[in-house]
Structure 1
Amino acid sequence: MRYAHILLAVAAEIWALDPQKLDQVVAFLALQAAGEKLPDDMVARITRQTEQAVARQEGTVAVLPLRGVIANRMNMMSDISGGTSSEGFGRLFDAAVVDDAVKAIILDVDSPGGAVSGTDELSGRIFAARGRKPIVAHVNATAASAAYWIATAADEMVLAPSAEVGSIGVYGVHDDLSGALEKMGVKKTIISAGEFKAEGNPFGPLSEEAIAHRQARVNAYNDQFIKTVARNRGVSQSAVREGFGKGRMVMAQAAIDAGMADSIATLDETIGRFVGAPPKRKLASAREKRALAL
């Protein structure tokens, strides 16, 4: 029953997540809810990593890991794929901002994205801290969807040579379980009050009105995503909508060329810029030109 409840929660959420990752999670939950045992190698690909990344300090540089599936509070997803709580990450970030011993902050990003809820708030929190000390998002090696939404809020985005960023867009899922239940001889009866209270339940297809309502929500969150990235990167919303991958992932050099990120370097090189010398706030020249143009 635990996996069945989580599956319903996943279906109710609006996601800014790499579609392949969500497909893996939903398939895992569906099989577990049905009582099937997955091969160990498949579980290893879907579930959390055994070694969890932790925040650390390199000299005067705070390195904060933004890893795995991102959700506002990780109680829903932590048992499946680990990941990061946007609420918890925000607290870590705030502590680094006010810590006088920290002269620069590096967001160590490797995430397929996550839930929409809490994502724009975290992005805004990071953006509001610009100017207090250098904030660099280092992508090693994936910043997809919600992760990119958040990472663009840093002063600067640096990509590992093999990194990919993008997957801009949001979506929801709905599972119609009525056919499977019918085969099992189960018929669900829903008793509710309120015209739309039981709308979207998994025991039948969505009505046209329900589909339109869900599409409107997805569109609204997608517009919010694009607006925030445009602000963070100092470009127009049309530039994000038409030139930032259109929902696809973009490889490192192509992302630099498109204005989605600023430079290419390893994490050690990025940390090395600040360790052992007074950190200097410096944006890439292309980024400066975009800001001046605006």
Structure 2
Amino acid sequence: MMKTELLIAEFLSTPWALMPERLNAVSAVMARWSSHAPATTEVLAGIDVDKVTREARRQNATSVSGGGIAVLPLYGVITQRGNMIEDVSGPGSVSTQKFAAALRQALADESVSQILIDIDSPGGSVYGVAELADEIVAARAQKPIIAIANSLAASAAYWIGCSASEFYVTPGGEVGSIGVWQAHFDYSQALAAEGVTPTLISAGTYKVEGNPYAPLDPEAQAFMQSRVDDYFLAFSKAVAKGRGVPIAQVRNGMGQGRVLGADAALEQNMVDGIVTLDETIRKMLLKARAKAKTKGSRIGLAAQRLALAEL
């Protein structure tokens, strides 16, 4: 019971960079939790199947190839700490903190020469996303970091993908949903129907504004809008920097909040190319071999010069 109450509170207080289409599914879960209705047998069975499927995919992706490529999976709804909704349904969740830890481990591993971020996510909470994106940008100075939407990089996931040195999408994949939103649920009538009248005891002029026990007043809505606008500006700046385009192009193009298919995304410079995951890995391996060959040639030439100098 306590877990669901905390999750509802988290959902209501968090600005989201998440596909709006997922709002309906999330809202349905919130409604069930709020009414304390148990999940049906079918829902629970689906959750179990989803958990097994996504865990198998993560284990398969989390590997280091013979060519020294570390594949880091970024699957599911993005949250900052822990896996908040891992036992709910769908693709599960991914923690920005845990992903950052995996990134640091790959950077420290001398057997890893390149990093591939395998993304399949509708986005998530804005918390922790800017920090993770900045860390990826900084990490590019140490090792090449490639990202691929396989098959979805939406909202916060697109924000993170844009921080890589190169960003690709699979032929059947989608990217975009550039935007931020926040929800407010008014439970006042539902509570009144149940004979429940909440009384909030608070200190501080705006301490309880936007609470779910009353309709949202214009002042509270304006403040919530300002928070969303601030995060949207940060999101737009990050995409503009990552894609090397003006902020106006991000806001007036690139889907304007919509998710775009591979061809449309490439046309609007939202990605660097359309390739499969296997093709991306092969390209990375070829680059690594070419680099090693060039390095070997330079070492050989340096050795010849040294030998000549000693004669």
Q: State the identity as a percent.
A: 43
Cα 1:256–1:188 shift into 2, 3 Å = same
- Please give the per-residue CA displacement for 1:12-65, whole angstroms capped at 9, x wherever unaligned: 100000112232122113213313344455556678532311421122100000
- Say which of 172, 180, 203 aligns to 2:190: 180
Cα deviation, residue 279, structure 1: 5.3
Matches within 5 A, 1:38-187: 38-42=39-43, 49-51=51-53, 52=55, 53-54=58-59, 55-59=62-66, 60-81=68-89, 82-187=92-197
Cα deviation, residue 273, structure 1: 1.9
Cα 1:182–1:279 shift into 2, 3 Å = farther
- Say which of 253, 256, 279 aligns to 1:246: 256
Matches within 5 A, 1:192-271: 192-271=202-281
2:23 aligned residue:
22
* Secondary structure of the corresponding residue to residue 36 of structure 2: coil
User: Which whole-Å CA distance do the structure 1 matches of 2:257 and 2:241 have between them?
Assistant: 18
Aligned-residue CA RMSD (Å): 1.9
User: Which blocks of at least 5 consecutive residues in structure 1 are unaligned?
Assistant: 282-294
User: Which whole-Å CA distance do the structure 2 matches of 1:44 and 1:66 have between them?
Assistant: 24
User: Which blocks of at least 5 consecutive residues in structure 2 are unaligned?
Assistant: 292-311
On the 8 A contact 2:84/2:93 being kept in 1, the answer is no
Cα deviation, residue 154, structure 1: 0.5
2:284 aligned residue:
274
- Please give the per-residue CA displacement for 1:182-211, whole angstroms capped at 9, x wherever unaligned: 111111111111111111111001121111
AA of the residue aligned to 1:93: L
AA of the residue aligned to 2:101: R
Cα deviation, residue 8, structure 1: 1.9
On the 8 A contact 1:157/1:263 being kept in 2, the answer is yes
On the 8 A contact 2:83/2:94 being kept in 1, the answer is no
Structure number, greater radius of gyration:
2
Cα deviation, residue 128, structure 1: 1.3
Cα deviation, residue 75, structure 1: 4.7
* Secondary structure of the corresponding residue to residue 102 of structure 2: helix
AA of the residue aligned to 2:22: K
The TM-score with structure 1 as length reference comes to: 0.90
User: Which whole-Å CA distance do the structure 1 matches of 2:70 and 2:270 have between them?
Assistant: 24
Cα 1:105–1:279 shift into 2, 3 Å = farther
Cα 1:41–1:234 shift into 2, 3 Å = farther
AA of the residue aligned to 1:91: A
